[in-house]
Structures are given as structure tokens and as C-alpha cells.
Amino acid sequence: MELIFLGTGAGVPSKGRNVTSIALTMLNERNAIWLFDCGEATQHQVLHSQVKLSKIEKIFITHLHGDHIFGLPGLLSSRSFQGGESTLTVYGPKGIQNFIETSLKLSGTHLTYELKIEEIESELIFEDSFGKVTAMELDHGVQSFGYRIEEADKPGALDAERLIRDGVSPGPSFKILKEGGSLLLPDGRTINGNDYIGEPQKGRVLAIFGDTRSCKNENKLAYQADLIVHEATFEAEKGEMAAEYMHSTTAEAAELARDAEAKRLIITHISSRYDKEASLRLVEEAREIFQATDIANDFDVFEI
């Protein structure tokens, strides 16, 4: 499972950063990619990455500001041209359906796959055997959401070395025991698979935020997450400006990660006022509060 940052800028694209889009690749887990936001030129950014449009299964839109949605009609269209046939579901605030349907209708776009659009509220919006996704509303003037992605716990590993020591040969017997079954050995002993299975492996938890000021729902979404992705449009000393424009600072993102007992923070949605050198200062500022902080640049890949 990896995060690929296709765009890490705020508001408008700059020479160093395109506007927001993040791909969560789960090729081993479910042979699919989930996209979070789709700013202008996202499909161009995809061309410089390992992301395949045909593998995109779900798109989660945080809010309807242009730097988060203007790339969506083109990407949906191009997915058809690149052989996309599987169903794609778009989740987003009220109005996302009208935006998509109007764009496709006026441009005469025909999709070769089924497109589902779900306008969401703060609630559990998706769940299957892989895990679940919860959306909660943030504080950004327009309706803006954060998403908590919780992977289901995995069964513990089978202790193969111990089984071999106890006289069990690898093969079909291991499968029976892995499933918790019992096995009668040639010497008359009966062993139970549950005695050879380790503790369940806790599923990974991600929290991916849209644009927001600090609010209570942030803590619920971020609690004990393995990884938080949070906007840091402004440096800490510009707290008043951040609040006025309903955005967050480096310090606020870091304080959230610290207070939520998260393991790691990645800051993104960086204002174009910060060049490469200034961006390094932003991450150092956040690390003074929460050490396990990184800053995302376009095309950065983070393993989860």
C-alpha cells in the first residue's frame, strides 16, 4: 500500500507543485487505486507516475473548490480511452453529481464504464472485507470532508517452524491448520491450528484531510492513525491569515498528529508563496512539534 502525491500545491498550480490529488495504491490488497481529490491537470500528472487510470476504483472528493475538482471531467473521460471498463464510484459533497453530469453532458462525453456518484454526509460511506471508509465534515466555509480509511485486521501468521518441529510436513496440512482446523498425526496426537496461529495483525489506518481550520472532527478522524495527510497551507506565524482563509498552519497540523497519537504526518497543500527552500523550513517547523513529519512534493511515493 502506497501513497503517490500527484499534486501538492494550494489554490493555483506553480512551477514546482500542481494542485491537489493523491493516489492510494492497493494493488496487492485489492488490485485497485483510490484517488483523493482531482485538481486541474491530474491526468497529466498521472502520465509521470505509475498510476493507471483503468485501475482507479474510487475517487473521494474532499470539497468542491476548483483546485480539488477541475481535473475530474477530463480524467473520467480519459479512463474510457485507456480501456477502463470496471465500475468507478465518486464520493463527494452535495453538488458533485451536478458538476460531473453537467460537464460530461455539455462536452458530449460518453463513458465506457459504469459511473456511480454518491453525495455524502458525515458517516460510514463504504465497507467491505478490505475495510471501511468514514467521512466527517471539517471547517472550511464550503462543505469539506476528511476521510478515515481503516483496513480490516488480518489473521495471525501460522508458526510454520514450530509445526515442522512438532512433526507436521508443509502442504495441505498447513492449510487446514491455518483455517483453525484440527489434524490427527501418525503418532496419534491431535493438534489444533489455533494453537499455532499468532496474534491478529492490526489493519492500517489512514486519515486524509480536505482543506480546513482546526475542528473537533479532525481528532476523531486522526485518532491513532498510522498516517495522517493534512494541509499546511501556511507557516505557523501566519495563524491569523490561515484562520481567515479557513486553512491550517504547519503547527496546527503537527499539533493534531501529536494530540491524536498518530504515528506519522505528511503535510501537503503548500502555498505557492513557499519555494523549495522555504518548504524545507515548513517541515522543520512542524517537526519541532511532531518529529515524524514529512512534506510531500509532486510525485513523492510513501509506503504505508
- Domain definitions of the chain by residue range: 2-154+201-303, 160-196
For residue range 180-213, list pLDDT tens digits in order: 899 888 888 899 988 988 888 899 999 999 999 9
Alpha carbons 20 and 70: distance in angstroms, whole number: 10
List pLDDT tens digits, range 91-144.
999 999 999 999 999 999 999 999 999 999 989 999 999 999 999 999 999 999
Assigned C-alpha cell, 164: 515442522
Give the span between the Cα atoms of 250 and 233, in whole angstroms.
8
The residues that are catalytic are 67
Distance CA 304, CA 298 (A): 18
Q: Is 211 annotated as a binding residue?
A: yes
Q: What is the pLDDT of residues 5-30, one digit of tens each?
A: 999 999 999 999 999 999 999 999 99
pTM as predicted: 0.90
Q: How far apart (Å, rounded) are the C-alpha atoms in residues 17 and 275?
A: 10
**Fold assignment, 2-154+201-303:** Metallo-beta-lactamase; Chain A (3.60.15)
Cα→Cα distances 185→147, 173, 189, 197, Å: 50, 10, 5, 18
> Would you say 300 is a known binding-site residue?
no
Is 48 annotated to bind ligand?
no
